[in-house]
Amino acid sequence: MTRNKRRLLLLSSSRTAGTEYLEHARDYLRSFLNARARTLLFVPYARVANGYDDYLARVRANFAAIGYEVTGLHSVGDPVRAINEAEALVVGGGNTFQLLHALYTNKLIAIIRQRVLAGMPYIGWSAGSNVACPTICTTNDMPVAWPERCEALNLIPFQINPHYTDARLPGFQGEARAERLREFVQANPKVPVLGLREGSALRIEANDIQLLGLYTARLFTYAASREVTPHEPLGFLAADN
């Protein structure tokens, strides 16, 4: 199986300041889907509170605004078959540990990976972007559930930190986000991390990677960390380690 057919749109967040739910991403979504799929399969498993149906309704309304139908994976009798037949997969945000736990429990890791690497479009935000990585070790979430293991879908060979921020609360004595991510790359020197700020996204087509949005992202490697700018070539991140 080759990675050369993968198509992913990985959003940092479902919203950004001053916008409604997924509003900031509508142009990204239209361009990415480009009428290649009309019915999308939504994975709501990252939701911990308020139920999957409410989550599906919110996502369905937003995709309907740009001309797409959405079916919830939780509402089908055979999730594996549904993914195997899906035109495109949408994985929502919430708690990353809960999401990965559900993917393992429902035995969906292998089939999702197989379909996406074969070309099925994959859209994720927040936790949905985290699980596209080799592991979920750079999530910001607390482990409200324990997945079978921390290894995730491994659709890309680098890590993402969604909701990345340089902000630090006055009087806060714990480690800042950048310090935590520097710890990760020191402990895992072969695995870079890209910190995606709110409103940003990555579009991945085979080994081509574009940073979308108005903001820079923070790239952490074992050697150093630096800012990367929108539309800067990022294909070097796509090479398998």
CB 125 within 8 A of CB 14: yes
* 141 is annotated as an active-site residue: yes
Catalytic residue among 163, 200, 231, 240: 163
Residue (of 203, 197, 115) closest to 163 by Cα position: 197
Partners of 201 in the β-ladder:
11, 212
Amino acid letter at 104?
Y
* Span 34-46, pLDDT tens digits: 877 889 999 999 9
Structure-token pair, residue 173: 């004595």
Task: Quote the tokens at residue 130.
Answer: 């985290």
- For residue 3, pLDDT over 60 is answered with no
Domains of the chain with CATH codes? 7-238 (3.40.50.880)
16-20, 63-67, 110-114, 160-164: segment of lowest average pLDDT: 16-20
| 27 flagged as catalytic | no
**pTM for the full model?**
0.95
Active-site annotation holds for 54: no
Q: Which of 12, 13, 14, 126 is catalytic?
A: 126
- How far is residue 121's CA from residue 118's CA, in Å, rounded to a whole number? 9
Give tens-digit pLDDT for 118-166: 999 999 999 999 999 999 999 999 999 999 999 999 999 999 999 999 8
Strands 217-220, 193-195: pairing kind:
antiparallel
* Active-site hit among 141, 166, 225, 231: 141
